[in-house]
């Protein structure tokens, strides 16, 4: 572990030399020649979309996460929308979800004409607090939509106990959590529907893309139809059987993922174990390096859980610093460390404020938001990249803690 500097270094924001010469982003894709070749082969084939790579990717992905079925989509958001549709959400219905997430999680409920009802999060993991969920249940609750924040699985057993008792589905937004383990099982085959994202900053990328995994064949069939205009058959099936006839059986969308993207996904899937292992190494290094920084709270990992580490969010003890989160953030960016913040609580966005005009507060989510900073976390980070992040955070923390002690 790096030792704390014995004297203050001048911060880059104050005219000092930055820790890095170039910006280290908080996340980015990692592609190699095998990925490129996989895509080129599809570009030279007969099928650019609705072809054989789609089913192959879905089958391999579902098997990897331990689910019976996988249905691919053009984005994680499209996958969330499809899950909300398959859950039967509609006007007059409610789905309970977390404010500590990207807005797409709640938006998918609105897409169906239903209402997202927010419940506060647990102080340790920042995932949905089952006790707070219980307070928000009503006769209109038709689903619970949990998020595996930063890659740490939600309290799935407790949430499933609620949904089973009421006969409603648990939709798990695992867009952060591909590869996470929860009590001996991989996330993906535990909840009624589990949603994944393949955006470039995720563990596996298809450019844009998403997947819903489920063990329910009827839900899978609904999901497939929904992503294909509500049509009950696929173009490739009709071509193979020499048929032209098709029927639209529900109002769906064009949310299909291309063969081009699925070829990239298949190639990336081969590297997923290695990618996860690297992210876990980086998280362990960060945690060891920051445990002695009094103004930094490192992420909590509950017993029986092995997170996937999409993010590494630290929390600042602002009462120990002579600076707010904004100044700390700017100081780290000046050191060329591409920190970020995840997330502005959804109910604070102008659209939600103006639409719902709710006076309700979520003290854990709101209080945490003011203290959160996400450090760079992606599997292509080098050992030097990791040490640069550690150096920069120590440099900035020592400065603002040191100021206070004078």
Across the range 128-151, mean pLDDT stands at: 98
Q: Is the pLDDT of residue 304 over 90?
A: yes
- 123-147 average pLDDT score: 98
Question: Which tens digits make up the pLDDT trace of 16-40?
Answer: 999 999 999 999 999 999 999 999 9
Domain ranges of the chain: 12-28+272-405, 33-269
C-alpha distances (whole Å) from 357 to each of 99, 108, 352, 360 are: 15, 19, 7, 9
pLDDT of residue 406 exceeding 50, the answer is no
Which whole number is the average pLDDT over 250-278? 98
pLDDT at 283 over 50: yes
CB-facing half-sphere around the CA of 40: CA atoms within 13 A: 6
pTM: 0.96
Instruction: With a cut of 60, say whether residue 4 has pLDDT above it.
Output: no
What pLDDT was estimated at residue 3?
45
How does residue 245 score in pLDDT terms, banded at 50, 70 and 90? Answer: confident
Q: What is the pLDDT of residues 71-101, one digit of tens each?
A: 999 999 999 999 999 999 999 999 999 999 9
Which residue's entry shows tokens 């867009």? 175
Look up the CATH number of domain 33-269. Answer: 3.40.640.10
Residue 96: φ, ψ to 5°: -90, 130
Residue 292: predicted pLDDT? 94
Cα distances (angstroms) measured from residue 135 to each of 96, 141, 271, 346, 353: 10, 12, 42, 19, 22
DSSP assignment of 31-65 equals --HHHHHHHHHHHTSS-SBSSHHHHHHHHHHHHHH
Quick: pLDDT tens for 353-385: 999 998 999 999 999 999 999 999 999 999 999
Determine the 3-state secondary structure of 145 from DSSP. Answer: strand
Q: Of the listed 202, 271, 317, 395, which one is catalytic?
A: 202
Q: Catalytic annotation on 135?
A: no
The whole-number pLDDT of residue 234 equals 75
- Assign 404 a pLDDT band (cuts: 50, 70, 90): low
Cβ distance 375 to 339 under 8 Å? Answer: yes
Task: Identify the CATH assignment for 12-28+272-405 out of 3.90.550.10, 3.90.1150.10, 2.40.50.140, 3.40.720.10.
Answer: 3.90.1150.10
């Amino acid at each position: 572990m790096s030792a704390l500097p014995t004297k203050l270094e001048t911060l880059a924001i104050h005219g000092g030399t930055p820790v890095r010469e170039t910006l280290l982003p908080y996340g980015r894709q990692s592609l190699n020649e095998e990925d490129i070749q996989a895509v080129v082969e599809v570009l030279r084939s007969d099928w650019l979309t609705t072809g054989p790579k789609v089913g192959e990717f879905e089958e391999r992905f579902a098997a990897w996460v331990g689910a019976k079925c996988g249905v691919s989509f053009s984005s994680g958001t499209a996958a969330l929308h499809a899950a909300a549709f398959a859950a039967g959400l509609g006007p007059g219905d409610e789905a309970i979800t977390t404010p500590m997430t990207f807005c797409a999680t709640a938006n998918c409920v609105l897409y169906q004409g239903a209402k997202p009802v927010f419940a506060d999060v647990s102080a340790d993991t920042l995932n949905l607090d089952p006790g707070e969920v219980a307070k928000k249940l009503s006769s209109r609750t038709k689903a619970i939509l949990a998020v595996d924040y930063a890659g740490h699985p939600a309290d799935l057993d407790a949430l499933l106990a609620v949904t089973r008792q009421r006969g409603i589905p648990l939709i798990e937004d695992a867009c952060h959590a591909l590869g996470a383990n929860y009590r001996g099982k991989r996330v993906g085959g535990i909840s009624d529907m589990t949603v994944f994202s393949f955006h470039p900053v995720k563990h596996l990328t298809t450019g844009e893309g998403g997947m819903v995994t489920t063990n329910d064949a009827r839900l899978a069939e609904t999901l497939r139809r929904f992503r294909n205009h509500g049509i009950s058959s696929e173009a490739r099936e009709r071509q193979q059987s020499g048929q032209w006839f098709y029927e639209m059986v529900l109002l769906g969308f064009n949310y299909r993922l291309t063969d081009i993207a699925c070829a990239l996904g298949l190639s990336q899937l081969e590297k997923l174990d290695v990618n996860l292992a690297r992210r876990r190494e980086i998280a362990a290094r960060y945690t060891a390096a920051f445990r002695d920084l009094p103004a930094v709270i490192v992420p909590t990992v509950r017993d029986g859980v092995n997170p996937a580490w999409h993010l590494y969010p630290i929390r600042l003890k602002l009462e120990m610093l002579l600076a707010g989160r904004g100044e700390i953030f700017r100081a780290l960016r000046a050191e060329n460390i591409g920190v970020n913040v995840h997330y502005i609580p959804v109910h604070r966005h102008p659209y939600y404020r103006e639409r719902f005009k709710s006076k309700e507060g979520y003290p854990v989510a709101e209080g945490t938001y003011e203290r959160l900073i996400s450090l760079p976390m992606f599997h292509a980070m080098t050992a030097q990249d990791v040490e640069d992040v550690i150096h920069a955070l120590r440099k900035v923390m020592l400065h603002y803690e040191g100021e206070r002690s004078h």
